[in-house]
Copies of this chain bind each other. A is one copy, B any other.
């Protein structure tokens, strides 16, 4: 994949590079691609996400699923990491999610406060940290200031920094919404400009055109859109998120287009664990068939 950024960049310190190689080349398919299992929905949406498969309410079940499914990493908030990761330490890389919020109050001025520091990630043996940046939120001053401190700590400690680059807030709603090509493209670029090592984005929807800026009002295929988003992220590795559970075939098609565009991988939660365990593992196998087609040496 010539478009996919490699780990051979002078911008990665030795610490970041060794941890990223562990994630991308010593776990999962060990071929430079990545499949992450995010598990912060209990905080972001509440336990309602677990009603489809009550077993998924148990963090231990999810971590075991990540191990059995050969994921490249499991994403946890500090509380669950403290209580459950020790039991499985060394079996699957931990991505410590540093910030998060409930979805109870309105999202117009969305801001995701910090619950843990990069130092916590080091102490817990994590191989990366995650930060949700609400691109376009009216609270962007606070968001960027908070991210600034996280970026500095991540750099000082050689910890890879994954940015959940999520368009959000009242102004985004008025300009095409959070899944428009315009919004996703801008979000990917913002993460890259501000210092993300990896950026997680929603799959762009070029058909969402109401209120978007001029050049995005033209016709684009979804492949053109995800290609552009990967270009906007330039040397920042890109992951495509899954979002709410959708049809398997549509999801796999998105995966194919994303990898074709030069994405490094996927980060899918509810589409994986909102079903019985064996169905989860079957679905993961189908995802990995796709990832296997996009190896890279570094």
Contacts and interface: CB of A to CB of B under 8 A. Distances in A.
Contact of A105 (B51, B59, B169, B236): B169
Residue picked from A138, A148, A232, most chain B C-beta under 10 Å: A148
A17 interface: no
Contacts of A141: 101, 111, 113, 142
A193 interface: yes
Nearest to A212: B48
* A: interface residue count bin: 35 or more
Main secondary structure of the interface of A (DSSP, over half): helix
A115 to B, nearest CB: 5
Contacts of A148: 113-116
Given A58-B231, A102-B140, A105-B170, 8 more contacts: A46-B190, A48-B215, A78-B193, A83-B235, A100-B193, A113-B148, A115-B147, A116-B195
25 contacts: A11-B84, A11-B86, A40-B193, A43-B190, A46-B185, A47-B186, A47-B228, A48-B213, A48-B214, A54-B231, A58-B234, A59-B234, A78-B195, A79-B195, A79-B196, A80-B234, A82-B195, A83-B192, A83-B235, A102-B190, A104-B167, A104-B175, A104-B186, A105-B169, A116-B148
